[in-house]
Structure 1
Amino acid sequence: MLKKIKLTAYLFISILTISESFAQKESRLYGNSPYSALGIGDIFSGSAIANDAMGGTGLSFGNGIAVNTINPALLAKNRYVAFNTGLRGQYKTLSNGTLSQSDFGMNLSHITLAFPVKTKWTTAITMQPYSGVDHEARFTQIIGGTTDKSVSHTYKGLGGLSKAAWANGVLLGKKLYLGVETGYYFGSFKRDTTTLLLLSSNDMYLRNSDRISVGGFEIKTGFAFQQKLAEKWNLNVGGTYELSSKLKGERIRTFSTLYDNGNGPQVIQKPDTLAMYNGGMTLPSRYALGISLESPYKWTFAAEYSRQDWTQYRNFDNKVESNLTSSEKIAFGVEYLPKYTSTKYFNQVFYRAGFQQVKTPYLVNGTHIKDNSFSLGLSTPLAYRSVSYIDFSVSVGNRGVIGNGLVKENYVKMSLGFSLMDTRWFLKPKID
């Protein structure tokens, strides 16, 4: 028993320790995207990898093996200690119709530890990225009054928000699940504008840097209800509501001069501080609803809808951003398990497929940017009759359009995760 307590403490400390890694690298989860220059960047789903394969659905159902990080109420289905982690990556091609670019990004996607407190109450701690900024654009222009002298500009952004959360789910009676998640957002955004001038034989760079560091709390509530329709079929409904969050922090703007003598740009003197002040951001509330038809450990068919009004977002200067509007998502997913009681390995594999259509919050040149994708995946047991699984998901889709000054992204997203469960941790020993 003492060894189990030590292991739990070790996993908890590991989750806290890795928070700095999330804060610095969450933007590399999906690679370069010009749309991440808007607002707080790309918003990540927050789902487990098993849910990714089903179009990101999971509001109304759970199998008690994978940890449900979408709806805290369904944590109550996890009756044993469960540890969940994974990697996510994306290969994409960006094109504006004339130019194209390929990019790849990958990072640790999440870490979750869940364990039962009582028979109908399960708690979990989790760490995961919430948003990511990763973009770089360059262009060159002729200096006024000249015909052969030019100046190049580079705009670059990197950073994002991560979330550490504590969630609890309880089962009331036999049908109703309720849950609540309390979390903390933290992270930073750095945006640089670098101008290159040619003076004699040396390149001189002028750089304006803008860095924002923020943090703040979030609260998400959830429910799920299960109604038996027939001997082997259940109808499930579920939903979540995230309250608006206010983040506070500090902003610093600096100016620096750099020279390149063949070894790359080097700062030649201490950067000048142009401004430094406190402020904050306001993240809008979000709600999501889902319904599913389930034959436990056989079939699951799910449909979901979510909405978040980004016109309610306020940036660090407490201003509305005109390029942000309401975002909506419609998702569908299906899961199939051939025969859980079978002695054949492949009969214990979960097969999944899904589709999602997302109206992103980005409104560019009068065009509402959309994101459509199809997904496939499976979960294979680590060993015969094991309740620990390896999760795999791949989705193919596109975002944006070509024309009207916009960029289209064609991508392939890949996810690999591990759902590890120990059914012996909370069995009462005869001899301690």
Structure 2
Amino acid sequence: MTMNKCFTIAFLILATSSLLAQTNALSNSPYSVFGIGIPNTFTTGKTNALGGAGIALKSDNSLNNLNPASLGAMPLKHFYFDIGYKTQLYSLSQGAGSSKQSNSTFSNLAMAFPVTKKSAVSVVLSPYSNVGYDITGISRSIEGSTSFYTSDVTANGSVNSLDLNYGYNFFDRLRLGVTGSYFFGKTEQTEYNSIVGYALDIQRENRYNGFRLGAGLQYDVTESISIGSTVKLPTALEATQNSIITQDYDDAITEETSVKDFELPLEMGFGTEFKFGKSYAVYADYSRKLWSQTEQESSLNTYKDQDSFKAGLNFTPRPGGLYYWQNVEYRAGFNYDTGYLNIAGSDVSSYAVSVGLGLPVSRSGSKLNLMYSYGRNGEIANGLIRENIHSLSLNFSLDGIWFMKPKYN
């Protein structure tokens, strides 16, 4: 095994340990107070800079985790590794007030390898959702009295997803894939109450776990046009809660209770790829999540069906050219999301624009994928908060050729 392969494996082990330790990764979004938090929108390889589009994108030179069927196009004797890192800056506005928050964390760890000439397997570890908010100065009335007490609430945590994907190539044009996901993680909330000089603190830790199945399809209509589709079945994440109640001059009270499972909806996606010569490729995706069928709601919000529209452009000046900049990939993308939350009669929708580069780092096809995006989430209306989000992502997408006998000793 060469030194480069040893370094890759060591880096994967280190990065995996870092991601698993990040159960307290903050989202810094007040909208993460609902459910299990804000869904993670970052994925592997080049698709981040394509506005998140890529359901019809084949995994013929890098790992695409948006559709398991893409693995049917993976070349034999190649190994893919993808390690992602992201940083985000939030600017929050509500009425005349504003604030800024930031966070940085690993976004994914992934590897893929062929099983036969026509099939491959991938394993992907990534956050599914993140929680992170800090609310201070909440005023509440004391029941049976005209007095009030104040509360401060902080929360953090994440629910992670470990995906096992398999794709197979039928008749060279049709690819089918299946995926199984295991969800695990925890969120923590601490509530500090001050009641007429008397302190009462409540710590709640919610743990989640569950499984989910999905499938995907890709079909090459012509050499220049491909279509794809995905489906993820609905499931419920089992939840348990541990609470620690601490009050002045008294012992802490610890209890474990069962809480309502969190339901994930049926998800369906459709995508297209159009190639113009060897230099241009255009991607367009549409997906729908049927949150209303989960019948989850609270006194503050209801869940609504979510529609997402994504589009991206990839341009390579001269693929296979002699000069470095001829092989650089230039990318741009856009997405619009109707959102899955309705709060006080208003939908929390979002949009984002992105640009990026795919910088070659070796002749084997490895790339350093960079992405910058600007997005807006929510609005200043009905007491809601508008988020302006600047995001940077970096993905090391490594392509190694293994099990090849050297020509010279």
Q: What's the counterpart of residue 54 of structure 2?
A: 58
1:359 to 330, 338, 346: 338
Q: What's the counterpart of residue 356 of structure 2?
A: 377
Shift of 1:312: 2.9
Decide whether aligned partners of structure 1 residues 297 and 112 sit closer, same or farther in structure 2, where only a CA change above 3 A counts.
Answer: farther
1:44 to 40, 45, 61: 40
Does 2:115 correspond to 1:125? Answer: no
Shift of 1:98: 1.6
**More off after superposition, 108-117 vs 210-219:** 210-219
Does 2:328 correspond to 1:349? Answer: yes
Q: What's the counterpart of residue 304 of structure 1?
A: 285
For 2:405 and 2:251, the matched residues in 1 are separated by: 63
- SS of corresponding position for 1:360: coil
Gaps of 5+ in 2: none
Shift of 1:46: 5.0
For 1:401 and 1:61, the matched residues in 2 are separated by: 33
For 1:141 and 1:57, the matched residues in 2 are separated by: 44
Q: What's the counterpart of residue 265 of structure 1?
A: none
Does 2:402 correspond to 1:397? Answer: no
Decide whether aligned partners of structure 1 residues 352 and 309 sit closer, same or farther in structure 2, where only a CA change above 3 A counts.
Answer: same
Q: What's the counterpart of residue 156 of structure 1?
A: 154
Does 2:72 correspond to 1:76? Answer: yes
Gaps of 5+ in 1: 259-267
Q: Where in structure 2 are the equivalents of 1:233-312 lying within 5 Å?
A: 234-257=224-247, 270-273=251-254, 276-277=257-258, 280-295=261-276, 297-312=278-293
Q: Which amino acid aligns with 2:331?
A: R
Decide whether aligned partners of structure 1 residues 297 and 162 sit closer, same or farther in structure 2, where only a CA change above 3 A counts.
Answer: farther
Does 2:179 correspond to 1:184? Answer: no
Does 2:202 correspond to 1:208? Answer: yes
Shift of 1:336: 0.5
Does 2:408 correspond to 1:427? Answer: no
Preserved CA contact (<8 Å) 1:56 1:331 = yes
Decide whether aligned partners of structure 1 residues 353 and 239 sit closer, same or farther in structure 2, where only a CA change above 3 A counts.
Answer: same
Tell me the number of residue pairs that the alignment of Structure 1 and Structure 2 aligns. 406
- SS of corresponding position for 1:412: strand
Residues 217-237 of structure 1: CA distance to partner in whole angstroms, max 9, x if unpaired? 111211100122xxxx51110
Preserved CA contact (<8 Å) 1:391 1:418 = yes
Residues 331-370 of structure 1: CA distance to partner in whole angstroms, max 9, x if unpaired? 1111001101211111110000010000111101101111
**TM-score normalised to structure 2 length:** 0.90
Preserved CA contact (<8 Å) 2:16 2:109 = no
Preserved CA contact (<8 Å) 1:314 1:320 = no
Q: What's the counterpart of residue 418 of structure 1?
A: 396
**TM-score normalised to structure 1 length:** 0.85
Q: Where in structure 2 are the equivalents of 1:26-41 lying within 5 Å?
A: 27-28=25-26, 31-41=27-37
For 2:242 and 2:382, the matched residues in 1 are separated by: 34
Decide whether aligned partners of structure 1 residues 285 and 7 sit closer, same or farther in structure 2, where only a CA change above 3 A counts.
Answer: farther
- SS of corresponding position for 2:46: helix
